Structure 1
Amino acid sequence: MIRVELVRAWPHRHESLWLDLPDGATVASALALSGWEARDVAVFGERSTRERVLVAGDRIEILRPLIADPKDARRRRAQRNAR
């Protein structure tokens, strides 16, 4: 048995859930057990696939979609500051 943490966050709050899973469990099996939906995930801040095999103590993070393309936002700031 392994114990992993599943985390999802919003701008002003977050939720955390600890799961006990069998050895050899994957990110997909953790998500299925939690009932949480996720488009993209990371393990300790590194993007991960759903097929990744978890180890005890892993923290799975549910990633939110980007609101704006970082390159476009940077370009707009540079244009605004150039004026």
Structure 2
Amino acid sequence: MAKVEGARPLKIFLVYSPAPRQVREWVLELAAGTTVAQALAASGLFEEFPELRTGRHVLGIWGRKTAPGHVLLDHDRVEIYRGLRVDPKVARRERFNRQGAKRAGLFARIRTGAKAGY
């Protein structure tokens, strides 16, 4: 980590969701010039979640994809994303098939006196 004399430490938020509806958050105080990879190492994340050591995770800052070498700014929120288990289009199609065409979408409510399909 590059240390700048006289500079205030950066307050960094690190967020990871190991499973649906579970969120783990760390608040870190790091030196100015710290990169995303250095913040991950300083957090102790890899000891708590060893499956992340493979390095095959996607990283983001405030919802925008970033690289491990990106230099952090004060109050950045570093996010570690899990891979999708199911393609969203396939999941939507399956949900629609389970619900049936009459209970979903535009044709769910039929107004009295309306034309068919409206």
Question: Given the two structures, how large is their TM-score scaled by the length of structure 2?
Answer: 0.59
Residue 74 of structure 2 aligns to a residue in which SS?
Answer: coil
Give 1:57's aligned residue: 75
Query: 1:19-78, CA deviations, whole angstroms, 9 ceiling, x for partnerless residues?
Result: 111111010000011132361111001111101110000000110111112344456567
Choose the corresponding residue for 1:7, options 15, 21, 28.
15
Residue ranges of structure 2 left out of the alignment (5+ in a row): 1-8, 46-51, 102-118
CA-atom RMSD, angstroms?
A: 1.9
Structure 1 or 2, whichever has the larger Rg, is: 2
Deviates more, 1:63-72 or 1:28-37: 63-72
* Structure 1: tracts of 5 or more residues without a match: none
Number of positions where the alignment pairs a residue of Structure 1 with one of Structure 2: 81
Superposed counterparts of 1:20-59, under 5 Å: 20-36=29-45, 37=52, 39-59=57-77
Q: When you count strand as a share of all residues, which structure comes out higher?
A: 1
| More helix by percentage | 2
Report the secondary structure of 2:73's partner residue.
coil
Q: What TM-score does the superposition give when structure 1 sets the normalisation length?
A: 0.80
